[in-house]
Structure 1
Amino acid sequence: MKALTPAARGVLVAIAVLLSVSWALTAFALLPGEATNGSATVGAGLAVTAFLLGVRHAFDADHIAAIDNTSRKLTDDGRDPSSVGLWFALGHSTVVVATVGLVTAGVGVLTSQLDSADSPLSLITGAWGPTMSSVFLLAVAAVNIAILVRLVRRRGDQRAVGARGHGGGPVSLLLARMTSPLDAPWKLFVVGLLFGLGFDTASTIAVLVLAGGAGAALPWQAALAVPLLFAAGMAACDGMNSIVTARIYAWSVERPEQRRRYNIALMSISITVALVVGLVGLCGVLVDVIGVPWPAARAVAGIDLDLFGFVIVAVLILAGATSWALSRRPRRGTVLAP
């Protein structure tokens, strides 16, 4: 396997900085001279909980599927997608940090809206989050299906693998236009922001901060450190995920004639994951929000995806291990040195 790309090294540096800053802010807020009435113990518990919530949230199926399928699309466009996961996590975390900042500042209207599951804000954002993620995943999966079809039909033709390839029917042109703005990793910041506007994650962290402040006088620095720790945990895992995914896809598209079957299998898995997660989310909106009576939609909406993200990561790790093992094998005709 090749050395890390400049983008991948930049992601690692950014993760290290984010982890250092968030934990340093937490330590500063919880110095003995600053903590009173047991707030150090409460704050430490909040810090660890928030960080672990960020790590857990990074393994959500929609996160993994979005990063995986976008990485495939950007790789096919000839771009390095190593920073896709970091940008996505930063966009998603922006909503969390902003929401907790407003709650900490005492914006009572927002606090009451987040506390009530029947509030207008909760109802609107509850539909927005899964709708946005489902539509995005289904659109990117459709583009990758078009890429897969070209790959299967035209053996060894690297130009046929590209989503930007000329030709194709009206559906291919429509799909290309739909995802043409997604031509750089930093644009996943916007996608993550739109995912985050579902406010489900922001509400969880905001309630966590409120609960911590209810039992003890929580310093405002510690309250603001909570969402930063959440962001650090999510960015670390999503960032590492995109680095691994980028390396797997970069290896798979090299020498397309020899690695064609591996590439097809890997793409098929990614597309299947995006379709499953997108359909489950969309059916959930149809059943829970719109109230459609279709039995099939209810059955799909009832599928539990809580552990699906971990399954996807396990498959990616297996794919990475396979590519590493295959890369260690000498090519045909190569004579190993004694």
Structure 2
Amino acid sequence: MVTDLKAFVAISIPSMFLFGMRHALDVDHITAIDNLVRMHNARKSARWVGTGFSAGHMISILSEMLLIIYIVGSTTSGKLDQISFSGGVTGAIALATIGAINIYSMKRWGKTGSAILASKIVTRTHILRPVGSAFVTGLVFGIGFDTATQISALTLSVVASATLGVQVALMLAGFFALGLIPVDTLDSVVLRSAFSRMFNTKGFTYLSYALSGVALIIAAFESYAVITNVKIVPPLTGPVLAIIIIAGAFGYGFATRKRRVVDQSISPRQHNHDADFNEDPNR
């Protein structure tokens, strides 16, 4: 019993921590934090919106976990497999829908669908400041079976063991949060830094298009994988593509900012030269 518990802790705790980090790198998380940073105009306080978003998101997931534990605590393994399959399909369809809506919204209104939803939340919670608004946004965005399913299978397997119980499942959720929140915070810090260099440039729009496009493509592959049980792309394809896009945004923002500084330093000299050239020599 004690040996089994030690083995379980040694394996499950690091796994849940890494799983939380992996979940924070999902394209939908990066896109949502991208929207929040842009909505707060990339000012300094926006660097912590990832912390608020992931905290609200985690509370929403935890609530769903407890609800699932309560509802299906006595469910057979066959039904659990069916629930897991349905949840995977639902999550993939939701991600594909969000990606398609975001691209259409960018084309029609100049901002993503999730940004429109976030703007509705932020305008109603502006008194809470950026982090508080992000917390509420994460809470709302977390109300979906797709996010809860990613850890509910592990939680249900723990709760199904008579020797461990709900307390251990909650402990695992805590380690999941320890992996999730720091990486989401890093997302907002990185995005804020990139956006502060790209503010009021076309790169703003291009980055949102790119992230939404990646979300749509990954969702299509994930839907196929869930339905056919055949993996087409490696597990980290989405996060890697998102990181490449953000790195490209950094490069674009740095180059744009450097060119702007050079132009500003040249303009006064050019202005003085033109003034000297046009000055009347007889005066």
State whether TM-score is above 0.5: yes
Q: By how many angstroms is 1:225 displaced?
A: 1.3
Give 5+ residue unaligned stretches, structure 1. 1-34, 149-162, 164-171, 257-262, 292-300
The AA in structure 1 aligned to 2:249 is A
Identity level (%): 19
Distance 1:103 1:277, change over 3 A: closer
Q: By how many angstroms is 1:122 displaced?
A: 3.9
Match of 2:29 in 1: 63
Distance 1:318 1:278, change over 3 A: closer
Are 1:54 and 1:230, in contact at CA under 8 Å, matched by a contact in 2? yes
Structure with the largest fraction of helix = 2
Count of residue pairs the alignment pairs up: 253
Match of 2:128 in 1: none
Match of 1:112 in 2: 75
Q: By how many angstroms is 1:50 displaced?
A: 0.7
Match of 2:18 in 1: 52
Identify which of 135, 149, 153 aligns with 1:186: 135
The AA in structure 1 aligned to 2:75 is S
| 1:97-121 deviation digits (Å, cap 9, x = unpaired) | 33554677xx4734626764553x4
Secondary structure at 1:112's aligned position in 2?
Answer: coil
CA distance in 2, matches of 1:47, 1:86: 22
| 1:250-280 deviation digits (Å, cap 9, x = unpaired) | 3311xx4xxxxxx323531331231232255
Distance 1:316 1:224, change over 3 A: same
Q: By how many angstroms is 1:249 displaced?
A: 1.4
Secondary structure at 1:194's aligned position in 2?
Answer: coil
| 1:22-71 deviation digits (Å, cap 9, x = unpaired) | xxxxxxxxxxxxx9445234323321111011111212233223332453
Are 2:90 and 2:145, in contact at CA under 8 Å, matched by a contact in 1? no
Q: Does 1:223 align with 2:169?
A: yes
Identify which of 265, 275, 278 aligns with 2:216: 278
CA distance in 2, matches of 1:87, 1:36: 38
TM score, norm. by length of structure 1: 0.57
Q: After TM superposition, list the pairs within 5 Å mapping 1:126-141 onto structure 2.
A: 126-141=88-103
Secondary structure at 2:143's aligned position in 1?
Answer: helix
The AA in structure 1 aligned to 2:8 is V
Q: Does 1:40 align with 2:6?
A: yes
CA distance in 2, matches of 1:124, 1:95: 20
Are 1:90 and 1:192, in contact at CA under 8 Å, matched by a contact in 2? no
Q: By how many angstroms is 1:210 displaced?
A: 4.8
Q: Does 1:317 align with 2:263?
A: no
TM score, norm. by length of structure 2: 0.66
Match of 1:333 in 2: 265
Are 1:93 and 1:231, in contact at CA under 8 Å, matched by a contact in 2? yes
Q: After TM superposition, list the pairs within 5 Å mapping 1:125-204 onto structure 2.
A: 125-146=87-108, 180-183=119-122, 184-197=133-146, 199-204=148-153
Match of 1:89 in 2: 54
Q: By how many angstroms is 1:314 displaced?
A: 3.4
Q: By how many angstroms is 1:187 displaced?
A: 3.8
Secondary structure at 2:58's aligned position in 1?
Answer: helix
Give 5+ residue unaligned stretches, structure 2. 123-132, 269-283
Distance 1:109 1:58, change over 3 A: same
Distance 1:114 1:188, change over 3 A: farther
Identify which of 189, 193, 205 aligns with 1:243: 189
- Taking only aligned residues, the RMSD between alpha carbons, in angstroms, comes to 4.4
Choose 1 or 2 for highest CA Rg.
Answer: 2
Are 1:69 and 1:140, in contact at CA under 8 Å, matched by a contact in 2? no
CA distance in 2, matches of 1:192, 1:306: 22
Q: By how many angstroms is 1:138 displaced?
A: 3.0
